[in-house]
Amino acid sequence: MNRTPTPEAFGQDPWKARIDRVFARALVLPLLLALGLLALLLGDTLYRSVSVQVVRADMGPGHTYPFGLSAETILRQELLAQGYTEEEAAFMLQDPKERNALFLQNRVELMWNTHEGPFRYVVTNVYDERVADFSLAEGLRRWNELKANLQEGERLVLNPWLDQTFLTRPPSRSPLTAGIGVAIWGTVWVLSLALFFAIPVGIGTAILLEEYLREGRLSRILEVNLRNLAGVPSIVYGLLGLALFVRGMGLGPSVLAAALTLGLLGIPVIVVTAREALRAVPDSLRLAAFALGATQRQVVFRVVVPAALPGMVTGVILSAARLIGEAAPLLLVGAAAYVPFAPTGPLSQYTVIPVQIYLWISQNQPEFARVAAAGILVMLLLLSALYLMALYLRNRFRREW
């Protein structure tokens, strides 16, 4: 008959074993507390990204439109309701300049509920006035009361601030028409150029230190400094970028200056993770390649680097996830407060998602806090996608040596 061995069978004090079990269970409490706080913050952000509003239209009766219509059809009907003729409406929708101005000043968005029914489109103009703004719980509780007290030209909507138009629209002075599209493109430009500079330097440095440089005082000094650089606050890199790239090299507050600054910030992280990936490759592969007559260059670039590539890619993605959330260094090197158009080149002005969120939060109008909550959700979605990609690549290409 099999019996589970007890601590007494191995000469272990049962009280010490009980204390060890209690201590092990107590270590779970900080983890549960951290997960609970993260869930609370995420729930609060989701809650703030939806509100009930009463909006007065600047022009027109403030109609809503049924689900399924195209944005062009809705704008045509809105122009006709404002008193334009069919010819004038057709010209404004066909002429490129008039059409662009029309879509910039008007936002066609799908509301979850309106005073005329659920899931209907509304046209929000940049000059529309917010009459009242309520939290989700209070707005739903007072929905019938607010609906009964609507005046002419007013509409009642259950507004999800994060929708498709929010992801494509440029920023605006009005929170009702503000979007994060320009900030997304600015983030893509800055992050792409930063990784373009950081990946070759970081991986090349890791290969040099791990495969070519012999153990000695120089290698130890470089390793200690790289690990220290990985922990330097990002604001210090911002000061360096301001002095070196913005003023010293005369790049000004451009995409290139921001990318070089973030590239410096990402290099230490890439070096550390790439070195760990190279160290994980067993020496038996190197020795086997040398035994077959391969040179050191062939061993490094045809055997070691391909074997360590999954770990390197994971480290690059994790570095990109860190860089995409940096705001302090970019504020120092000149991220613009208001950029109405996406960057067109390395020397263009720019803004990025974290800077745009910071600027929205600093505004006096309370609706900008809800716009910022929608921006935070976009940021969390991007970070989650990067972390999931890193997790997938690590599990998909992991090798057991």
Cα dihedral 67, 71, 73, 78 in deg (nearest 10): 90
Report the candidate in 263, 285, 291 with the shortest Cα–Cα distance to residue 192. Answer: 263
The verdict on 336 and 297 lying in the same domain is yes
Predicted pLDDT of residue 22: 78
What's 215's domain CATH number? 1.10.3720.10
CA distance linking residue 229 with residue 233, whole number of Å: 9
CA distance linking residue 318 with residue 313, whole number of Å: 9
CA distance linking residue 235 with residue 170, whole number of Å: 27
Q: What is the pLDDT along the chain (401 residues), one digit of tens a residue?
A: 555 555 555 556 677 777 777 777 777 888 888 889 989 988 999 999 999 999 988 776 678 889 888 888 888 888 888 888 888 888 888 888 888 888 888 888 889 999 889 999 988 888 888 888 899 999 999 999 999 998 888 899 998 988 888 888 888 888 888 889 999 999 999 999 999 999 999 999 999 888 888 777 887 888 888 878 878 888 899 999 999 999 999 888 899 999 999 999 999 889 988 988 998 888 888 889 989 888 888 999 999 998 888 889 888 988 898 898 888 898 888 877 678 888 888 998 888 999 999 889 888 888 888 999 999 999 999 988 888 888 888 777 776 66
- Please identify which residue in the block is written with the tokens 């490759």: 281
**Is position 104 within any domain?**
yes
CA distance linking residue 171 with residue 179, whole number of Å: 5
The verdict on 150 and 196 lying in the same domain is no
The verdict on 189 and 108 lying in the same domain is no
The verdict on 86 and 231 lying in the same domain is no
Number of CB atoms found within 10 A of residue 349's CB:
18
**Is position 111 within any domain?**
yes
Q: Say if CB 360 and CB 176 are below 8 A apart.
A: no
The verdict on 305 and 361 lying in the same domain is yes
The verdict on 291 and 226 lying in the same domain is yes
**Is position 135 within any domain?**
yes
Strands of 2-127 (E only): list them: 50-56, 64-66, 106-114, 117-125
The verdict on 261 and 135 lying in the same domain is no
Strands 154-160 and 106-114, by their bridges, are: antiparallel
Helices 255-279 & 305-323, crossing angle to 10 degrees?
Answer: 140
The verdict on 115 and 257 lying in the same domain is no
**Is position 332 within any domain?**
yes
The verdict on 328 and 215 lying in the same domain is yes
**Is position 55 within any domain?**
yes
Domain that holds residue 61: 49-162
**Is position 168 within any domain?**
no
**Is position 202 within any domain?**
yes
Hey, is 123 helix, strand or coil? strand
Predicted pLDDT of residue 353: 92
The verdict on 90 and 147 lying in the same domain is yes
What tokens does 392 get? 């997938």
The verdict on 137 and 261 lying in the same domain is no
**Which one of 99, 129, 162 terminates a domain?**
162
The verdict on 150 and 221 lying in the same domain is no
Q: Can you say whether residue 117 is alpha, beta or left, with left for phi > 0 and alpha for psi between -120 and 50 degrees?
A: left
Hey, is 119 helix, strand or coil? strand
CA distance linking residue 357 with residue 370, whole number of Å: 10
Predicted pLDDT of residue 331: 87
Name the domain count of the chain. Answer: 2
The count of C-alpha atoms lying within 13 angstroms of the C-alpha of 335, restricted to the half-sphere facing its C-beta, is 27
**pTM value?**
0.84
**Is position 17 within any domain?**
no
